[in-house]
Structure 1
Amino acid sequence: MTQYFFTSSSYDEPSQREFAALVAKGDVDKALKAASKLAYGVNCAAPDGVTPLLVAVERENRDMVLALLDAGAQPDGDSQKAPVFQAVSCSTPDILRDLLDAGADPNGMMDTVPALCDAALHNRIAAAELLLSYGADVNSQNSIGVTAINKAASAEQWDMVNFLMDHGASIWIAAPASGSTMPRFAINDRMDPNSALWRSREAAIQKIKAAGFPWPPPHPKEVKRLLSEGKWPPPQAH
């Protein structure tokens, strides 16, 4: 049985809980009828920021998503529970595109993490491409300054790293607290040299060197020191 994180149990008010439960169940007609009786209609939000639209997106119920949007649901949902973030995980990009077409912010976040960072971490290139085509910031950062390309590299998602570099992602941005940079992850030599992953990493390394990044990449402690002295990124950064 599929486990869902966003459910009607987030709601305290009984009529809102009933509406969210109908959304989760997938009964469009009954859900919209229940919403019509609520003060905030389809946009009622639970105390933790869960919205009915987010519930529908998690269940990949496109009919429900479209019905809620047509009924006036705000595509951005709550500021820290953006439906676009959840849509990145959907099995097809259709729902993500529906939300973006409805005006959702492509930089939408889930608990301070931008949607693009999640796409990068899990190598969802189709979702990342869609977000960028709708104006997502390729260098968007989470609350501790980690970018999407850093997320991808830390997870050894080298196809994603190459994709993001090809779309203008900076390789120079360092997380302030750690001094970690994306190229530092590329020095891992535990890969099978005959693997596609190794070849993808090698392609990334060539791009890193071509961009003028110091090689081997400096240790995060050194980068952190340079950051504190206002000397990072260096003059050759672009």
Structure 2
Amino acid sequence: MMNKLKATAEPFQKYVANRDAKISGELSHQDCPHDKRFLASIKFKLQNDLNIGLRQEQEGLFLTLAIHQGFLESLQYLIEGGVDINQPYLLLSPLMHAAQFGKLECDRILLDNGADKDWRDEKDDAAIIKAATAKQFEMVEFLLDEGADPMGGKYRTNLARLCVESPQCLRKVLKRSPSTIRMKDESGITAIHNAAILCQFEAIKILAEFGANVDIMGPDKVTPLMDAARNGSQDIVQYLLEKGADVNHQDLRKSCRQLCTRLRRRE
């Protein structure tokens, strides 16, 4: 069966690979000619294949390709034909494929047709975590608005930490789930640590607004102040000092102490 599936998949994978170089948002419209051709190919293959097991595998392949390319008409056809919209393909659910590639309209169609927004993969991550990891912040906001669980990860993956590069998304996450502000990932990093490491000043201010502990210790007893100093972010260091960050922390590193001292002398 796998050999048959491979033989079926290869022409369609080649079809995708050989398509015009870039597929813009306009080509995802229902009237897209590429979508029409792809839909005709789907209909032909499914109508002429009587092997039920192979048909199910083909449906998963076609559904995934339709999502990746943003072919909305093909996607709708497959759903109306009874394809399982929660069946994983390549270890990810259709919603996850759409989420991590930023296919917002595909996710909208999937959810409108009953897709499980909190379905977990083998890593126990949900679609919202896949979107945040891929920096698809608009998708994260959309899934939150649709009621997705912000605690969508095996190790209580910190959604706030993943969203520090998007102030708007971060604010929405914190409003929906304030407790994420204190959560640590497997390595002990919180959202404010990550914001300091990535020099995300706006995120630091939002996290402080929501009550983040500016002296919270992460791996090796490192504080956000230390992370900011180590990465040379003087604005963040200055801001954290204004928020009462402890410059005399017993584990504060030399480089951080020196930068804090220079900033204080300027006052």
Structures share fold, TM-score greater than 0.5: yes
Change (3 A) 1:110 1:168: same
Task: Give the CA deviation at 1:107.
Answer: 2.9
SS at match of 2:102: coil
Q: Deviations over 1:167-193 (max 9, x none)?
A: 111234333x522222322444x74xx
Task: Give the CA deviation at 1:52.
Answer: 1.1
* Residue aligning to 1:141: 184
* Residue aligning to 1:169: 212
Change (3 A) 1:132 1:180: same
Task: Give the CA deviation at 1:117.
Answer: 1.1
Q: Deviations over 1:46-92 (max 9, x none)?
A: 463x12112212332222111011011112232533322344423x6
**2:64–2:89 contact (8 Å) kept in structure 1:** no
**1:58–1:87 contact (8 Å) kept in structure 2:** yes
User: Computing the radius of gyration over CA atoms, which structure comes out larger, 1 or 2?
Assistant: 2
Q: 1:55-204 residue pairs with structure 2 within 5 A?
A: 55-78=97-120, 80-88=124-132, 89-90=135-136, 93=138, 95-109=139-153, 113-120=157-164, 123-136=165-178, 137-175=180-218, 178-188=220-230, 191=232, 198-204=234-240
Partners of 2:240 and 2:162 in 1: CA distance? 20
Task: Give the CA deviation at 1:21.
Answer: 1.2
- Residue 13 of structure 1, aligned match among 57, 72, 89: 57
Change (3 A) 1:134 1:112: closer
> Percent sequence identity over matched residues?
19
Q: Which runs of 5+ in 1 are unaligned?
A: 3-11, 192-196, 222-238
Q: Which runs of 5+ in 2 are unaligned?
A: 1-20, 23-55, 254-267
Report the TM-score, using the length of structure 2 for normalisation: 0.62
Report the TM-score, using the length of structure 1 for normalisation: 0.69
Structure of higher RCO (CA pairs closer than 8 Å, 6+ residues apart): 1
Partners of 1:187 and 1:98 in 2: CA distance? 35
Partners of 2:174 and 2:107 in 1: CA distance? 22
SS at match of 2:243: helix
Task: Give the CA deviation at 1:199.
Answer: 3.0
Partners of 1:208 and 1:158 in 2: CA distance? 16
Partners of 1:59 and 1:68 in 2: CA distance? 14
Aligned residues: 194
Measured on the aligned residues, the alpha-carbon RMSD in Å equals 2.9
Partners of 2:252 and 2:61 in 1: CA distance? 48
Task: Give the CA deviation at 1:112.
Answer: 6.4
- Residue 27 of structure 1, aligned match among 59, 67, 71: 71
